Amino acid sequence: MKILIVDDDKTNRLVLSAYLKKDGHTIVAAQNGTEAIEVFQAEEPALILMDVMMPVMDGYEATKKIKSMMTDKFIPIIFLTAMTDEKSLSRCVEVGGDDFLTKPYNRTLLKAKIDALQRVSRLYNTVNEQKHKLIIHKENEKKEQEVARKVFDSILNPGCLSSENIQLHLSPMSLFNGDVVLAAVKPTGGLHILFGDFTGHGLAASLGALPVSDIFYSMTAKGYSINDVAREVNRKLKLQLPTGMFLAACLVEIDTINNMLKYWNGAIPGAFLHKGDSVVELKSQNLPLGILGDSGFSDKVEIVELHDNDRIILSTDGILEAENSSGEMFGLKRFNDCLNFDIKSETESGIKNVGTASDKEDESSLFQHILDTLDEFTQEQAQTDDVTLGVITCDIDYINQLASQKGGYKKFVPTHWQFDLHFFYDSIKSIDPIPLINQIMCEIQGHQIQQDKLSMVLTELFCNSLDHGLLGLDSNIKATPEGFMQFYSDKESRMNELESGFIHISVSNEPTETGGDLTIIFEDSGKGFNVKKIQQKNLQIDTCNPISFSGRGISLITNYCNSVTYNELGNRVECVYSWSNE
């Protein structure tokens, strides 16, 4: 290798050169430190023999400057000195020297030191080269992951996560997030939300989000309920996920027609409904998605009364399991304290902090208060899991407006068509016909026919046929919150006991200049109900009380349709609904 000899004594240079040339090395030389720096820059030697005491610039100063010029290569420097005291020798090491050789020189010892440092140099340079290759590989991998992440984001976020009533904090441990948050408006104007946490984190955990996203958005767009979505997601994940991997998830449906919250919770611990003066826990009653087979899976949803500007708080266990410097977890109690503190603040100030768009950036909001409390607790400790928090404000009017803003569908030319569906009691227990009807109409006429008002009409017509026709339920018991809950409990019981009956549905379209007139017929085998009595009741409802839990379906149908005609029994209704593709 090429060796630089730095010594102001010509004889020493000649002797060392003779020794080293015999061993096959190439020699370059310098007489002082300044000259050594110049030769180093010009010749790029692989090893330097440096005298200590020299004119112009001594070996100590020259070594410091040369070492500062070395970037990604290790070039060893051996000091040549006649000094033997510990202070002088230790300074050789302090300024960057790698070894020292005392005068007079011992050729055998010189050769041994050079060979040893040559091996160290080769090892260092090999490691350094591998390091550079690894850096390049990581940079390329990061670019590929960023591209993949953008594709993931485009697939996972076509919904309404950016809506003004949704506050969301996502803090993944790596580039890919094992937590998944999905939100989409229903054709009837409500809102579906899926808040989930896959086993593990990173790319492997995030891959499961792709089929979940596809199922969630497609089924929501077709009008399926969250229990149907939960069952289908569970079935797909059970088939596709490896053993030991599953999705803890909470699915929420904001029903803006009936002012209620439906939820299915499978192992999400931080799920609550903040009602301004109280907090309702949306308790987990199920195992995570992807564990049970279809026969053992329960898609039963829980129902909670909902008021305007109530807030849904959802968090993954990354928040609850966040640790401080002492290894203590944040825990559910501290999370509950954040929610109760917000209630206390509202009570004392007399101002309800609802976390809507206007105060989305307000540092005193519930959303920000939780994050600030978490940051104060962890004191910038490293994350041990993906951390996700969502606060959704149930602004009923705003949520209903979201459905009408979707648009952008290809327009179909209105045509003549008709289809009839006949559902018997056993199929009614397992099939929701409204999404099927919406899908059929969209296939025939395009998505512009699937308007939010039409879906509301279809839903109310079906509920009337099922609830009052086949099941014989009385909506009057929904006059109170307790009766409201009792109504849905009775409905579930009677559905399980149903052993006869049918609902016949007929939908036909007559084209118009701007769309079409739909004739919709619902007929059931039940005893019917007194339509005139309910219509008279609707006229007497106190308009100062905006929340009414019964009797609103007929009024809604009448307001949205051109005509509504019931038979005498009330078990057959024919409506004409006008739709437009403009």
Q: What CATH number does the domain containing 40 carry?
A: 3.40.50.2300
Indicate the number of domains in the chain: 3
Tell me: do 342 and 449 sit in the same domain: no
Q: Are residues 166 and 220 in the same domain?
A: yes
436-461 in b/e form (b: 16+ CB < 10 A) is bbbbebbeebbbbbbbbbbbbbbbbb
Structure confidence by residue, pLDDT tens digits, 464-514: 999 989 999 887 887 777 888 888 889 999 999 999 999 999 999 999 988
Does one domain contain both 206 and 265?
yes
Same domain for 434 and 544, yes or no, is yes
The strand pairing partners of 289, in sequence order, are 247
Residue 402 has pLDDT above 70, yes or no: yes
DSSP, collapsed to helix, strand or coil, labels residue 293 as: coil
Domain contains 143 = no
For the cut 70, the answer to whether the pLDDT of residue 214 exceeds it is yes
Q: How far apart are CA 446 and CA 227, in angstroms?
A: 26
pLDDT at 138 over 70: yes
Per-residue pLDDT for 352 more than 50? no
CA Rg, the chain, in Å? Answer: 38
pLDDT in tens, 356-378: 434 444 434 889 999 999 999 99
**Pair (413, 498) in one structural domain:** yes
With a cut of 50, say whether residue 55 has pLDDT above it: yes
Q: Which helix (H) or strand (E) holds 379?
A: none
> Which residues, other chains included, contact 57 with Cβ-Cβ below 8 Å and sequence gap of 6+?
32, 33, 34, 36, 37
My answer on whether 189 and 44 are in the same domain is no
Residue 128, pLDDT score: 86
User: Which residues make Cβ contacts (< 8 Å) with residue 285, sequence separation at least 6?
Assistant: 265, 298, 300, 302
Q: Does 135 reside within a domain?
A: no
Residue type, 133: K
Residues 164 and 239 in one domain: yes
* pLDDT (tens digit per residue) in 82-120: 777 777 778 888 888 888 888 777 888 888 989 898 898
pLDDT of 538 > 80? The answer is no
The pLDDT score that the predictor gives to residue 547 is: 45
Q: Which residues of 210-245 are buried (b: 16+ CB within 10 A; e: fewer)?
A: ebbbebbbebbbbbbbbbbbbbbbbbbbbeebeeeb
Distance CA 107, CA 119 (A): 18
Residue whose C-alpha is closest to residue 533's, from 476, 488, 580: 476
**Domain shared by 87 and 198, yes or no:** no
For residue 343, the model assigns a pLDDT of 59
Residue type at position 70: M
**Residues 367, 428 within the same domain:** no
Any domain includes 566 = yes
pLDDT score at 3: 92
Q: What percent of the chain has pLDDT over 70?
A: 87
98 plus 80 within the same structural domain: yes
Query: Does residue 165 register a pLDDT over 80?
Result: yes
Based on the domain organization, do 396 and 432 belong to the same domain? no
Nearest to 455 by CA among 577, 541, 540, 369: 577
Could you tell me the pLDDT band of residue 122, with boundaries at 50, 70 and 90?
confident
In a domain, 141, yes or no: no
For residue 410 the two structure tokens come to 């290809």
Which residues form the domain of 46?
2-127
Last residue of a domain, one of 376, 403, 430: 403
The residue to which tokens 């408006």 are assigned? 185
- State residue 396's pLDDT score: 86
Residue 146 lies in a domain: no
pLDDT band of 552, cuts 50, 70, 90: low
DSSP E strands in 135-294: the ranges are 166-171, 179-185, 191-198, 247-255, 260-266, 270-274, 279-281
Residue 531 has pLDDT above 80, yes or no: no
Q: Of 381, 403, 425, which one is at a domain's C-terminal end?
A: 403
As given in the structure block, the two tokens for residue 347 are 């009570």
pLDDT at 407 over 70: no
Q: Please state which of the ranges 131-135, 422-426, 479-483 shows the lowest mean pLDDT.
A: 479-483
> pLDDT tens for residues 269-308?
989 999 878 899 999 999 999 999 998 999 999 999 999 9
Query: Of 403, 435, 452, which residue sits at a domain end?
Result: 403
What does the pLDDT read at residue 404?
A: 62
For the chain, what is the mean pLDDT?
Answer: 84
pLDDT at 405 over 80: no
Asked whether residue 395 falls in the same domain as residue 535, the answer is no
Rounded to whole angstroms, the Cα distance separating 396 from 165 reads: 10
Report the amino acid identity of residue 80.
L
Q: What is the pLDDT at residue 364? A: 46
| 173 in a structural domain | yes
Select from 198, 228, 218, 224 the least CA-distant residue to 289.
198
Beta bridge partners of 3: 27, 47
Residue located via tokens 């019917």? 528
The pLDDT score that the predictor gives to residue 196 is 92
Domain of residue 237, CATH code: 3.60.40.10
- Reported as a pLDDT band with limits 50, 70 and 90, residue 403 is low
| CATH for 573 | 3.30.565.10
Domain presence at residue 379: yes
Convert the pLDDT of each residue in 177-187 to its tens digit: 788 899 998 87
Given strand 99-102, what is the order of strands in its sheet?
Answer: 26-30, 2-6, 47-51, 77-81, 99-102
Identity of the amino acid at 170: L
Asked, for residue 100, whether it belongs to a domain, the answer is yes
Cα gap 421→525, rounded to integer Å:
14
